[in-house]
Structures are given as C-alpha cells and as structure tokens.
Amino acid sequence: MLVLVAPGQGAQTPGFLTPWLDLPGVEDRLRTLSTAIDLDLVHYGTNADADEIRDTAIAQPLLVAAGLVSAAALGDITPGAVAGHSVGEFTAAVFAGVLDDTAALGLVRRRGLAMADAAAITETGMSALLGGDPDVSVAHLEKLGLTPANINGAGQVVAAGTLEQLAALNEDKPEGVRKVVPLKVAGAFHTRHMAPAVESLAKAAAELTPADPTVRYVSNKDGQAVSTGAEILDRLVGQVANPVRWDLCMETFKELGVTAIVEVCPGGTLVGLAKRALPGVKTLALKTPDDLDAARELIAEHGVA
C-alpha cells in the first residue's frame, strides 16, 4: 500500500520551487493561488532568501502550495492513505478531497498570520532533542514546564516553550540526550502559546464546508484515520495548539500494511523518519522534477493496496 505524505514547516529552502516552474502549468497555477491569498508564492519559492521564507506567515502557504503542485505533477493517483506533518495536514486534506486548494491555502494563510501574531506575544521557541529515550525525555520536559510539541518517532522529540525554559533544558538535558538543537522557527508551535491562533483559525474554518475524505486520512492528533470532513477540519484547527504525534501516524501506517511512502516537495524529512521507524518500507522524496519518474514507478508498483 502506498501512503502520500506532506512535510511541515522547516522543510523549505531558498529557491526550492525554481525547477518546478519549468513544468507546464505550474507557474500559472502558483500565480492563481498567489492572487487568491494575496501572497507572491512564485517570488518566495524562487528568489526569497532564508530569512524571508522562515517567516511563519510565508512559510506555511508556501509549503502547502509546493506540496500541491508537486503532487499534481505525478498525475492522477489514488494512494491508500494520506497524512501531513503539522501544516502538511492541510496539504493532505486537499489530497483527500476534504478541501479544495484555494480553500486550504486561504485557511493556511490565516493560520500562518495568526500563529505569527501569537508568537509575538511571548518570546518562545523550539529545540530538537538528539538521542535519549522518548518517554524519559517527555517526562523531563514536562518537569521543566516545556511541551513535547512534536513526537516524531524514530527517537525524535521536539521541545517547545519560553526561551527561559529552553535555556534551562540546555543546562539540564534528559538522561541519554546528547544534544539540544535550537530550531529556526518563530515560536512555540503546537503548545498553549498558540491558543490565540486557534480562535482566529476557528472563525475562518466556520466559513468552509468540508467534504468527507475520499481516501484514508491519518491525523496528527492521535494517528487515527478520520472519516468525516467536519472532524478533519475541527482537528486542523485544534492542532495548532496541540502536539504533533507523527510517531502514532507511522504506527498506523504499519498497521495498515504500508509498503511505500512518497513525500511531496520539499520532501526529505518524513522519508528520513520512515527509514528509521519503518524498515523495509520503500520511500521516495520529491525534491525536484527529476524525482517524478522514480515516484511514478514506485506508485505503479505499490498502488493503493
């Protein structure tokens, strides 16, 4: 069975969309989406520098747009399941037919702006823990008042909280953790610090009418497959202030009998986790159009079952 996945914030790099504009229709589609959300996706995906695309309000719609155009370049495919990491869940919602691309990007644009505003209230951040046992690390983080904002599987945990709390973590690491690495993000995403963004996003989501998914949609909240569009939309809203449980998503992939995973552009992060947590599962990351033929071969081989 094939699973199609979409990465989250931090996967973007300067100029990563440039080679995709050589494909027929891609630039036109990006410009249409840019107009719809009043954000120049072509500029930010080709000419903007790292600091510009680190901005939460820009990075999030840029990542979703990249996932959509790269998936479309694969042709008409029906995976056995879809999932996304953090903002990648919105990309997956389009794959599943829950939202159309314009509605999803409009909601993501609102999400990015609201999260940027929430991050400005208090100086917060996120740090990745290298090494250690996840259960031990999570308990230690909670003792320090930090949130395990991402439990990604393959031993990877990301802590989030105030800069003071993160400084304390650097001085008092969980047993077995070799290093604490600060992440280049604007705030403590997927924590209580994002509560103001949830309220803003809920108002925007109330204006949408989601469809029920046409393929299995696996949620970050608990790794479960969600069968109604209304519940998926509700989870997309609440997810902003709650941890990402990518570990549980991968457990569900295993239970479903996944044999291959394709990660849409800018792929790499989720495939890396899958290689460690799901041995024997074939993986492919879409980085440039040069990867499309290999992805199509993998899709033809593994199909939906």
User: How far is Cα 226 from Cα 162, in angstroms, rounded to an integer?
Assistant: 33
The H or E element containing residue 163 is: helix 163-171
Whether residue 50 contacts residue 13, with contact meaning beta carbons closer than 8 Å, is answered with yes
Q: Which of 34, 70, 86, 200 is catalytic?
A: 86
User: How far is Cα 182 from Cα 188, in angstroms, rounded to an integer?
Assistant: 11
Annotated active-site residue 302? The verdict is: no
Three-class secondary structure assignment of 224-250: CEECCHHHHHHHHHHHHHCCECHHHHH
| C-alpha angle 218-187-113 in degrees, rounded to nearest 5 | 75
Q: Helix, strand, coil % (nearest 5) of the chain?
A: 50, 15, 35
Which residues are bridge partners to 244 per DSSP?
A: 150
Angstrom distances, CA of residue 34 to CA of 30, 43, 56: 6, 10, 16
Angstrom distances, CA of residue 134 to CA of 72, 131, 139, 181, 188: 36, 9, 9, 16, 19
Annotated active-site residue 190? The verdict is: yes
Q: Which of 70, 85, 127, 190 is catalytic?
A: 190
User: How far is Cα 296 from Cα 285, in angstroms, rounded to an integer?
Assistant: 12
Active site residues: 86, 190
